Amino acid sequence: MVSGRLEGRVAVITGASRGIGAAVARRFAHEGAEVVLVARTVGGLEEVDDEIRAAGGKAATLVPFDMTDFPAIDRLGGVIAERHGRLDILVGNAAILGGLRPTGHFPPDEWERVMAVNVTANWRLIRCFDALLRASDAGRATFVTSGAAAMAVPYWGAYAASKAALESMIRIYAAEIDKTSLRVNLLDPGAVRTRMRAEAMPGEDPLSLPHPDDIADAFVDLSAPDCRRNGETVRAY
């Protein structure tokens, strides 16, 4: 049953084929949103769509592309503009770890890909969707960060640096739109049972961690029209 907190809202969610992105997609659809799901994996997107429809939600729009395909982000913006004339919700969730190694030992292509996915792709989303978010009566944008951004943990150089850069960029963006109806925030999900977490912490028992579904409500709170937060880092734990 749809409870309707996001009824009629149009939402774009990146990294939506599994983990946190998939959980947010399911939750938003349950709340009545029309979800546009972006990820590289077609099969994963189709599974999420099947789950949404099986639970009684509206069929999702599936958009399979890599977040480093920046022209594809622009094309998606054109489609959203043509179909809806606005975007109510943006969730910048897609990210990669990029491996753990001494800072000076990252291969240049690996370092650059982490920055491209975790930072530049989110800047491209802002560049593409800013006008559409402002066209909404209550545009809401949430970008997923990590506690690693504020910690000096050895071997996490690429991922931590990318999240620190993301946080700075989003806080500045939030300050720029402060006098509009658009609200922009960061969300730190904490340690969650995801594939990235397993990659980073291979010896950890995944069952000791919250499931992504357990933190999805935090995204709803930041995406709802009644949210007044702006420029904040919200922790889901």
Q: Which residues are catalytic?
A: 159
Give Cα separations from 196 to 126, 180, 193 (angstroms).
24, 35, 8
